[in-house]
Chains A and B, each alone.
Chain A
Amino acid sequence: MTAPDTTDAAAAIPDARRTSLLRFATAGSVDDGKSTLVGRLLHDTKSILADAYEAMERVSKERGGEEVDLALLTDGLRAEREQGITIDVAYRYFSTPKRTFILADCPGHVQYTRNTVTGASTADALVVLIDARYGVVEQTKRHLAVAALLRVPHVIVAVNKIDLLDYAQGPFRSITQHVQTHAESLGLTNVVTVPVSALKGDNVALRSDLTPWYDGPTVLEVLETVPSIDQGADDFAAAHRRGIAHPTAEQARATESGWRMPVQWVLRPQDAAISPEYREYRGYAGQVAEGTIRVGDDVVVQPSGRRTTVAGIDTADGPLDHAHTGLSVSIRLADDVDVARGDLLSSAADAVAPERAFHAHVAWLTDRPLRVRDRVLIQHGSARVQAMVTAIDGILDISLPGGTLDSSIATGHELLLNDIGVVRFQLAQPLAVEDYGRHRRTGAFCVIDPQDGNTIGAGTARASAPGTGTDAHVTI
Chain B
Amino acid sequence: MSEDDVTTSLTTLDALESEGIHIIREAVGTARKPVLLFSGGKDSVVVLHLATKAFWPGRVPFELLHVDTGHNFDEVLEFRDRTVERLGLRLQVAKVQDYIDDGRLRERPDGTRNPLQTVPLLDAIVNHGYDVVFGGARRDEEKARAKERVVSLRDEFGQWDPRNQRPELWNLYNPKHLPGQHVRVFPLSNWTELDVWRYIQREQIDLPDLYFAHERDVFTRDGMWLTPHPSVRVRDTDCPAPRSVRYRTVGDASCTGAVESTASTLDEIIAEVAATRITERGATRADDRLSEAAMEDRKKEGYF
Contacts and interface: CB of A to CB of B under 8 A. Distances in A.
Nearest to B25: A264
A393 B11 CA distance: 43
* Interface-central residue, B223, B274, B279, by most chain A CB under 10 Å: B274
A319 B277 CA distance: 41
A249 interface: no
Interface stretch (A2-10, A199-207, A343-351): A2-10
Contacts of A380: 172
A21 B190 CA distance: 11
Nearest to A99: B12
Contacts of B259: 1, 3
Nearest to B284: A1
Contacts, number: 264
B13 A17 contact: yes
Contacts of A287: 18-19, 21-22, 171
A444 B57 contact: no
Interface residues of A, number: 94
Interface in A421-466: 440-441, 444-446, 448, 452-455, 458
A339 interface: no
A267 B283 contact: no
Contacts of B139: 90-91, 93
B58 A271 contact: yes
Contact of B172 (A2, A9, A446): A446
Interface stretch (B90-98, B102-110, B113-121, B161-169): B161-169
B8 to A, nearest CB: 4
B28 interface: yes
A50 interface: yes
A341 interface: yes
Contacts of B22: 264, 286-287, 328
Contact of B279 (A19, A49, A74, A92): A49
Contact of A285 (B54, B153, B276): B54
Interface stretch (B72-80, B173-181, B227-235): B173-181
B194 interface: yes
A16 B12 CA distance: 5
Interface in A245-265: 264-265
Contacts of B261: 3
A326 to B, nearest CB: 5
Nearest to B193: A93
Contact of A4 (B55, B171, B275): B275
Nearest to A379: B172
Contacts of B194: 13, 16
Given A19-B12, A231-B10, A93 B192 contact: yes
* Interface-central residue, A4, A269, A446, by most chain B CB under 10 Å: A4
A315 interface: yes
Nearest to B268: A6
Contact of A76 (B6, B14, B147, B283): B147
A452 B177 CA distance: 7
A79 B163 contact: yes
B274 A13 contact: yes
A190 B3 CA distance: 30
Interface string B10-36: 111111111101100110110000000
A436 B161 CA distance: 32
Contacts of B219: none
Contact of A90 (B29, B143, B195, B260): B143
Interface string A47-88: 001111001000100000000000001111111010000011
A472 interface: no
A315 B56 CA distance: 8
B174 A446 contact: yes
A76 B162 CA distance: 10
B271 A453 contact: no
Contacts of A405: none
Contact of B169 (A4, A93, A444): A444
B167 A21 contact: no
B293 interface: yes
B214 interface: no
A455 B169 contact: yes
A52 B58 contact: no
Given A49-B279, A93-B139, A326-B10, A444 B163 contact: no
Interface of A: 1-6, 9-10, 13, 15-21, 49-52, 55, 59, 73-79, 81, 87-93, 100, 102, 114-115, 117-118, 121-122, 228, 230-232, 234-235, 238, 242, 264-265, 267-269, 271, 273-275, 278, 281, 285-287, 314-317, 324, 326-328, 330, 341, 365, 377, 379-382, 440-441, 444-446, 448, 452-455, 458
